[in-house]
Structure 1
Amino acid sequence: MKIEHILYDYLIETGVSEATAGYLNAAALLIGLLILALLLDVVIKRIIIGVFARFAGKTRTNFDDLLIQNNVPRNVAHIVPLLLVLEFIPQVLVDFPYVENLIEKGLQVFGIILTLWIVRSILGTFKDYFKTLPRFNDKPIDSYIQVFMIFAWIIGTLSAFAIITGIEFIKFVTTIGTASAIIILVFRDTILGFVASIQVSVNDMVRIGDWVTFEKYGADGDVIEINLSTVKVQNFDLTITTIPTYALISDSFKNWRGMQNSGGRRIKRALSIKLDSISYLTSNEVDKLKEIELISSYLESRQADINSFNENNEINKAALINGRNLTNIGVFRKYMQTYIENHSGVNKDMMIMVRQLPPGAHGIPIEMYAFSSDKRWKNYEYIMADIFDHLIAAVPYFNLELYELPSNSSFKGLISEPTSK
């Protein structure tokens, strides 16, 4: 007596028709096979997970722990029951070849899906593991994982279609080759993102944690995620801006990493001086400015050099324009330079410069160029404000005026109030 007909023969002996006996025999064997497969799945799952758990507890690396967290043992445990069902389904449905063929194809497709689950779990484990390594913290691991999974899903989908249609895999792939243009169009952003992520990684253009400014997309903050198709930036107002990955190589953006890795953050700001407030300094005015401690020694030596030059060359000083002279804007520029060089918030090892820019319709700019020693945004703004608070308040001491557009207060006193009749 064949095992696949054990119930069939018994039903025939009890007087059941052949057709009914065949159906009942196949149904009973199929249910029994499924129950056996489920029991085997549970047992193997517990065994594999238990072995992995004990092994993970004895090792120092967290890779095996991540395998468990990503359900790798659980997914692997499904392989044996699937192979069992594939092995015995021909015997169970020996009298129903059409149904057997359909179920076998379904099980083969499920095998492909299970393989993809296992591959995804393993790749997820590698992703989590690499993120625990310091040298991979700033690398777009998510992008690489997504690329591998896309290729895996494409191959799996093509294999499933080949099984369902009964066409060999190679012939099926060759057949859809004519549709490659459509595939490229559909996956355009994915392909561009993949190429961009490789270039970004190879050229080290952006890392997770970098401060970037992307004016086109309104992004100004820290990169928190780099995927195959998008880059997420958390702005300083805590909003999230999503940027296409390929925009990093097609558009211009600013990465502040160089500043953060340097010894300071640049301060580059100017004060605009009114042109008509600039003048030569008389001896009395120079003597008065000597009361300012930061430039008193400079004025002493500088005035002595100028007087010596004018006397040796018999310069007529009845007019200040003759010979060499000190100007209030020149002395103020020297004061700015000295003040910045002595400020505790400025990095003395980096460039410190005060320069005069070309005069224009808004006066003549005196620009400060230096680097704050503290690069944190809040402290940087405080240092810069502290410096310019002082410099703005110091401008009147040199008989200079800051340029500003006229306001209502500028015309007070110029307009006479109407007299009552």
Structure 2
Amino acid sequence: MASLQQLLDLPGMRAALVLLVLLLLAWLAGVLLRGVLLRAVHGIAVRTQWRWDDALCRRRSFLWLARTVPALLVQYGIALVPDLPGDLVQAVRNVAEALLVLFVAMAIGTALSALEDLYRETPRGRERSIRGVVQLAKIALFVVAGLVIVTALTGQKIGLLLSGLGAMSAVLMLVFKDTILGFVAGLQLSSNDMLRVGDWIEMPQLNADGDVIDIALHTVKVRNWDKTITTIPSWRLISDSYKNWRGMQETGGRRIKRVLTIDAGSVGFLDGATLDRLAQLHLLAGYLPARQREVAEWNRTLGEAGEVAANRRRLTNLGTFRAYVQAYLDSHPRIHHGLGCMVRQLASGPQGIPLELYCFTATVAWAEYEGIQADIFDHLFALLPEFGLRLYQQPGGHDMQAGLVRLGERQAESRPFQPATP
């Protein structure tokens, strides 16, 4: 007992022992909270029907709150340690207070992340992201927490720090330029409903063509169709133009706008035999009789002038084919009949006569859309000879070879016969 009393009477020994006990209690409190209380909280969160507690557990918000207890024990228990200089006690309190502010800020930051997770699971959250707002709130939170920590460690008043920050406003504006631009752009995108997660956007100047997978404070991530990721600064979506295909997806129809280029040399009037053959096509059953009656009535009004073939009206293979294509699209089960549908002839040019099909499929799925479009044009390509029409295409090697062979045959036929000399 005497030796223990002598040991405690040594300078600083009593303070060291009390300080060791204080640190041990703080460590034990942290271990117990993490090992017992947090496990109990997690167990309760799993068994309840609430989702917010599960989100807080995933983001480890309760863990950061548990870390505040040892900091509180040290902050208020350091005064119980005897024989410590006042400056050292104040310094320990300042450090503990700074840690306490840091842990609380981290707990609030993870709670904001949990709130974002819960919002993302809602129907509205799948369309509109609040990540930019959450990130801005976190920036403001940690800026305030940083100021409080600096004041706690230095003992300076926060007013002096804010006055110094005012003098550095130009530097701060430069540092947070992207944050300010991103926040303003995010507000405009959200308020005007210009962009949602899941939208298909096309921005050729930045090589972006795909689905929006994330909208953050500074950037928007787009997964392109080749599975690459393009990161676009948020402010570029305000300053530059881009195409959003959401309207197409909401209407339920995807546009087909493609031309059949008809060889102008194959266009002509229909004779009686061709008319009889085309009359067997059921899609022309309502068109040909009506048009023939209209043309016959017109020609009867010409009188004697109708004896000249050039004065009479006659049906053409191109006009009849255009009517067939229109009837074919109107009766197609995979074409959206609530949207525009027409077949029009564009201005002819060096590549022939363009016949444009303008309609919408009854689906917006990419693979189905391409299949429907291909089936329609496969059918029309194969049916063109029935109307005496040909597609225009630039001559290839086979065409040139066949032309040279025909030219040689004609020259051989036109060459006079020359008997062989003995």
TM-score (norm 2): 0.88
Q: Is the 8 A contact 1:233 1:241 kept in 2?
A: yes
CA contact (8 A) 1:93 1:100 kept: no
Of 344, 351, 371, 2:340 maps to: 351
Say if 2:225 is the partner of 1:225: no
2:413 maps to which residue?
Answer: none
Tell whether 2:290 aligns with 1:290: no
CA distance in 2, matches of 1:8, 1:306: 127
Aligned counterpart, 2:69: 80
How far the C-alpha of 1:368 sits from its partner, in A, is: 0.7
Q: Do the aligned partners of 2:217 and 2:234 also contact (CA within 8 Å) in 1?
A: yes
- Tell me, yes or no, if the aligned pair for 1:315 and 1:322 is still in contact at 8 Å: no
- Mapping for residues 379-418 of structure 1, pairs under 5 Å: 379-415=368-404
Q: Deviations over 1:187-241 (max 9, x none)?
A: 2222211112222222111211222222222222221111111212222222222
- Backbone CA RMSD of aligned residues: 2.4
Unaligned ranges ≥5, structure 1? 1-6
Q: Does the 8 A contact of 1:49 with 1:73 survive in 2?
A: yes
Residues in 1 aligned to 2:400 and 2:57: alpha-carbon distance in whole angstroms: 78
Within a 5 Å distance, the mapping from 1:110-125 to structure 2 comes to: 110-125=99-114
Residue 33 in structure 1 maps to residue 22 in structure 2: yes
Following superposition, the deviation at residue 269 of structure 1 comes to 0.9
| SS of match in other structure, 1:403 | coil
- What are the within-5 Å matches in structure 2 for residues 168-179 of structure 1? 168-179=157-168
Structure 2 residue 145 is matched with structure 1 residue 156: yes
Deviation at 1:296, TM superposition (A): 4.1
Check conservation: 1:140, 1:197, Cα contact below 8 A: no
1:127 is aligned to 116
Alignment match, 1:366: 355
Query: Offset at 1:114?
Result: 0.8
Please say if 1:206 is aligned against 2:204: no
Question: Residues 274-320 of structure 1, C-alpha deviation per residue, up to 9 Å, x if partnerless?
Answer: 22322233344433432333214422221122112212321545544
1:104-132: CA deviations, max 9, x gaps?
32222212211211111211221222222
Give the TM-score normalised by the residue count of structure 1.
0.88
Which aligned pairs between 1:177-326 and structure 2 lie closer than 5 A?
A: 177-314=166-303, 316-317=305-306, 319-326=308-315
Which one-letter code corresponds to 1:331 in the other structure?
T
Number of residue pairs the alignment of both structures matches = 404
Identity %: 37
Q: What's the offset of the Cα at 1:380?
A: 0.6
Conservation of the 8 A alpha-carbon contact between 1:49 and 1:68: no
* Gap regions ≥5 residues in structure 2: 409-422
Moved more, 270-279 or 146-155: 270-279
Contact in 1 for aligned 2:71/2:97 (Cα 8 Å): no
Q: Distance in 1 between matches of 2:97 and 2:304?
A: 105
Corresponding letter in the other structure for 1:397: E
Return the letter of the residue paired with 1:125. A
